[in-house]
């Protein structure tokens, strides 16, 4: 086989590189041999050499596992041909049919080199997997988990070896995934799913990268491996293919792979997030939540939602994008002649149903939701208090005293009383878009609370803090409430319970709209 290294045999193959400095006529992988020749006679000669080597090594050539593929130039352009190459005493090597394809080491090759067949197989395989997931009798949260962890692993090989276009990945594959996610979550056709699903969880998204984003990350890794290869020929291949890969290679300029990958991920997340949060209707709630709620609390909210029954999880996710089928939306979707609330006459938007309807029954449900949450907080605070501290509450809760004993004309929700101060915790259950406004309103409302103290507490200082819990369960608590009240901050178990309680009550309010 050392003959193959001689100049005469290398000339039988092909040349590559900017200076045509590399020559190749033979590739060997284990017991597979790939012969590349620049003419039929050269190919036949190399086959004869391979036969001689196999005879010497006492190996048999399986004709049924052989094939040949060829192209030639006619009238100034290349066309596919059927080469006539034979094995001595065994007959002709089967040729790839015109317009056909073949697979070598798992990769599909065809004459147009447009990856048409791999695209068909990719799409067909994905459809089968997504259909299987849809048929499972599990919650939508579980389907999303399977989709985000299992499905990408089934396509890592294809994304690594094929350079699939963004048009195919975004326009076909990601659109197909979006259709199934929309079906699992019962989202209407107008919902923004792709950018929302690929937005990080701290921005109220699902944190599931699109296939286009995954392909870009793999392309970056592939280019890095070519760039730092110990093989000089591979490094030359990286240098010669810079042109079509300028964008990816620019990330690797003076950076290691970890830094380049981090920059790419950040840019992808920003692109998805900017689109999602920039939506006037579907992104406004998430935008306000991101501004008002700590990232840790958003993560806890996600975990709480994931633990809920499917119908409540789907409700919360749709409500976060104002995509609930209220009369306002139904009118926009040409499914209702009116968009007004039949109970109070105002426009029946998502916000109206969950927190703004003035109908007495709705107001009673809002109050009940508020009191359920207040009771959870009060019961949690009581055992956290220091021995000489007391909790005053606007509800009857074991271990708490009536808050009306503290002030004349005011009844804040919570108050932790020490020997020298009264620390107020005013709870508001508000719509997500009102998280900041509600806090400012309550601070203004109780700005002069110090002047309303009862005589028994006239020497106590008053410190007003707010606690906001949104209609879908996002928790915002002023840190000074815990600091001045000398209690620990809400633990994760309470935070999740508050979220579940709020969203479950809001689902009931929506169902009884």
Token pair recorded at residue 370 = 């508020």
Enumerate residues 6+ apart whose C-beta is below 8 A from 16: 22, 24, 240
pLDDT score of 26: 82
Q: Which of 495, 92, 40, 71 is nearest to 294 (CA)?
A: 495
Q: What is the pTM of this model?
A: 0.89
Q: Which of 474, 321, 352, 483 is nearest to 416 (CA)?
A: 483
- Positive or negative torsion for Cα 244, 247, 253, 256: negative
Strands 414-417, 14-16: pairing is unpaired
Distance CA 406, CA 414 (A): 11
Please provide residue 293's backbone torsions phi and psi, each rounded to the nearest 5 degrees.
-110, 140
Distance CA 45, CA 126 (A): 43
Contact 513, 353 (CB under 8 A): yes
DSSP annotation of 409 reads S
Predicted confidence pLDDT, tens digits, the chain (513 residues): 566 667 666 677 777 777 777 778 888 887 888 998 888 999 999 999 888 888 888 889 999 999 999 999 888 899 999 999 999 989 999 999 999 999 988 999 999 999 999 999 999 999 999 999 999 999 999 999 999 999 999 999 999 999 999 999 999 999 999 999 999 999 999 899 999 999 999 999 999 999 999 999 999 999 999 999 999 888 888 888 888 888 898 999 888 999 999 999 999 999 999 999 999 999 999 999 999 999 999 999 999 999 999 999 999 999 999 999 999 999 999 999 999 999 999 999 999 999 999 999 999 999 999 999 999 999 999 999 999 999 999 999 999 999 999 999 999 999 999 999 999 999 999 999 999 999 999 999 999 999 999 999 999 999 999 999 999 999 999 999 999 999 999 999 999 999 999 999 999 999 999
pLDDT score of 97: 94
Q: Which of 28, 75, 314 is nearest to 191 (CA)?
A: 314
Compute the half-sphere exposure of residue 265: CA atoms within 13 Å on the CB side of its CA. Answer: 12
Q: Give the number of other CB atoms < 10 A from CB of residue 415.
A: 30
Element (H, E) at 447: none
pLDDT score of 5: 66
Domain ranges of the chain: 2-113, 117-278, 361-511
DSSP annotation of 488 reads P
Q: Which of 472, 391, 458, 387 is nearest to 424 (CA)?
A: 391
Strand partners, 110: 101
- CA distances in angstroms from 7 to 20, 35, 46, 148, listed in the order given: 14, 16, 14, 52
Token pair recorded at residue 268 = 């992808």
- Three-state secondary-structure class, residue 427: strand
| Torsion, CA 332, CA 338, CA 339, CA 343, rounded to 10 | -160
Cα Rg for the chain, rounded, in angstroms?
Answer: 34
pLDDT score of 15: 77
Does the domain at 361-511 match CATH 3.40.91? Answer given as yes
């Amino acid at each position: 086989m050392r003959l193959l290294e001689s100049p005469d045999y290398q000339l039988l193959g092909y040349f590559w590189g900017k200076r045509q400095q590399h020559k190749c006529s033979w590739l060997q992988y284990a017991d597979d041999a790939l012969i590349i020749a620049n003419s039929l006679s050269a190919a036949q000669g190399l086959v004869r050499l391979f036969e001689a080597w196999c005879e010497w090594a006492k190996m048999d050539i399986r004709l049924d596992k052989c094939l040949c593929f060829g192209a030639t130039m006619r009238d100034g352009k290349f066309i596919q041909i059927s080469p006539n190459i034979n094995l001595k005493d065994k007959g002709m090597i089967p040729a790839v049919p015109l317009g056909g394809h073949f697979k070598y080491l798992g990769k599909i090759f065809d004459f147009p080199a447009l990856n048409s067949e791999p695209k068909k197989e990719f799409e067909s395989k994905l459809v089968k997997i997504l259909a299987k997931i849809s048929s499972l009798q599990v919650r939508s949260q579980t389907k999303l988990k399977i989709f985000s962890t299992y499905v990408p692993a089934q396509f890592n090989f294809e994304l690594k070896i094929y350079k699939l276009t963004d048009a195919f990945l975004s326009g076909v594959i990601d659109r197909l995934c979006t259709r199934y996610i929309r079906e699992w979550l019962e989202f209407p056709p107008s919902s923004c799913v792709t950018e929302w699903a690929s937005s990080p969880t701290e921005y109220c998204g699902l944190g599931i990268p699109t296939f286009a984003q995954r392909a870009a990350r793999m392309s970056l890794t592939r280019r890095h491996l070519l760039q730092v290869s110990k093989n000089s020929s591979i490094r030359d291949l990286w240098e010669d293919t810079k042109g079509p890969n300028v964008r990816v290679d620019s990330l690797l300029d003076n950076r290691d792979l970890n830094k380049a990958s981090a920059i790419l991920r950040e840019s992808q997340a920003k692109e998805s997030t900017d689109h999602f949060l920039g939506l006037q209707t579907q992104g406004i709630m998430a935008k306000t939540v991101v501004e008002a709620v700590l990232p840790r609390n958003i993560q806890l909210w996600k975990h709480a939602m994931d633990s809920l029954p499917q119908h409540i999880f789907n409700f919360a996710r749709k409500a976060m994008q104002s995509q609930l089928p209220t009369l306002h939306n139904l009118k926009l979707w040409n499914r209702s002649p009116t968009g007004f609330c039949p109970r109070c006459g105002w426009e029946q938007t998502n916000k109206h149903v969950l927190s703004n309807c003035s109908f007495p029954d709705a107001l009673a449900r809002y109050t009940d939701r508020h009191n359920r949450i207040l009771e959870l907080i009060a019961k949690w605070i009581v055992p956290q208090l220091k021995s000489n501290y007391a909790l005053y509450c606007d509800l009857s809760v074991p271990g708490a005293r009536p808050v009306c004993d503290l002030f004349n004309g005011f009844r804040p929700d919570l108050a932790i009383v020490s020997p020298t101060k009264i620390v107020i915790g005013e709870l508001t259950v508000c719509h997500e878009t009102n998280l900041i406004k509600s806090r400012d309103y309550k601070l203004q409302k109780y700005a002069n609370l110090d002047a309303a103290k009862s005589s028994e507490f006239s020497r106590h200082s008053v410190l007003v803090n707010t606690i906001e819990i949104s209609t879908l369960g996002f928790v915002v608590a002023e840190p000074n409430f815990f600091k001045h009240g000398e209690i620990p901050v809400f633990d994760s178990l309470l935070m999740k319970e508050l979220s579940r309680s709020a969203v479950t009550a809001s689902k009931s309010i929506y169902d009884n709209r």
